[in-house]
Structure 1
Amino acid sequence: MTASRERRITPRGAALELAVLGLLHDAPMHGYELRKQLIALLGWGRVLSYGTLYPCLKALVKGGLIAADEDPDALVRGRRNRIVYHLTAEGKDYFAQVMEESGPAAWDDESFGVRFAFFARTSSPNRVRILEGRRSRLEERLENVRQATLRGRERVDAYTQELQRHGLESVEREVRWLSDLIDRERNGGPASDQKDQAPPETPPGQAAAGE
């Protein structure tokens, strides 16, 4: 076990680490470019500061999952030193190991969207297990929120009711989207081949109801 894995880490921190490893799996990057790619991946208005990113990178370097080297091109051009991060062999193995996990942590609100972004790097049976787990969690959440809404309907105003309705509809859309993905995975085709299927308006991992 690496040093990075021995420390305690929050679900959001674990999701950020997985996103970093997944992006560096494709190509080495400077911190600036990596931050841009992470914002695009995590997205939906979430701001990722360097004060959050660089401690994460430092921990991954310390754990041996990524390496940090000076950019030789920057030195040739006479610019200040720039660090390029790349995945190590241990990092590739660890990323593959995590992507094959399909327990509750794989479909929670923090990590599901990141895992879904890298679904091509895991097996179809594993994808189905994660999608089913996510759907079950949202269905349970829907039922709880519906019951709470019915019990409190007389105590809230019209704007609160409208917000609750919007939240329920957002989660219902994600449940339908997940069901469609599960059906297509079981039929043997990668979900990304279906161009006519739009994702839910509320992004995966950002369910509006019951947050």
Structure 2
Amino acid sequence: MKILVEWVKEEVKEPSLCTYYIFSNETLSISQCGPRFKVNTEPLGLNITGVESNDAGVYKCVMTKLIPPPAAENSSTLMLKVSSFTLQLMNSTNSSCVELLCSLKGLKPQQVNFTWTRATQLLYHHESSSMRSTLTLCKPHWTDGETLTCQASYSNNHTLYRKSITLPCDSGSFVHLIVLGTLVGLLIGTALFIEVYYQCLTARRRQSTADGIVTSELVSSSQV
């Protein structure tokens, strides 16, 4: 017996993801598969490495009996759902607060546990549902440019999802620094100007005094 096996993804106009033959002694011929696909012999199936979100969809396994004739075809389909883990900074009505949303899709809700950390410090989050968790921090409990991490633990297959985000710098603080720096620069410039003016004024007074002394001496000499 000789059976041709083809794995294809529906709604994708591409060649077969993987093609191979099964013989009567249950051995497999050399498979022709894409770079991320590999034949699984026991149980018989298809392995995908580096699964991405666009891998989600309907896959079909088509088995065609070639020998003995006549040829006969049988197929089965399966749905692949790919989990999606995201961490994003939400818009906050309070400029002194930050709100982060961590969400996980494609898994059973009752088997997901969220934790938030700052370096090694565990943070308490007020809101957490089955597939999402929200962290809200207000000043002084967060600083510009620091990194926070969301971690989701999926107990079914002991998978750990982890993502980090760096908080933005407060534009208001940046403006304050610019204004402060400008004021300091003006003060220093004014002080230097006053110092130079004072030195020039002192030099002129000394010069005037010296000229007066010389004139007096000349007048005295003339009288003699």
Radius of gyration: which is bigger? 2
Please state which structure has a larger fraction of its residues in helix: 1
Q: Which has the higher contact order (CA 8 A, sep 6+)?
A: 1
Q: In which range does the TM-score fall when normalised by the shorter chain?
A: under 0.3
What is the TM-score with the length of structure 1 in the denominator? Answer: 0.18
What is the TM-score with the length of structure 2 in the denominator? Answer: 0.18
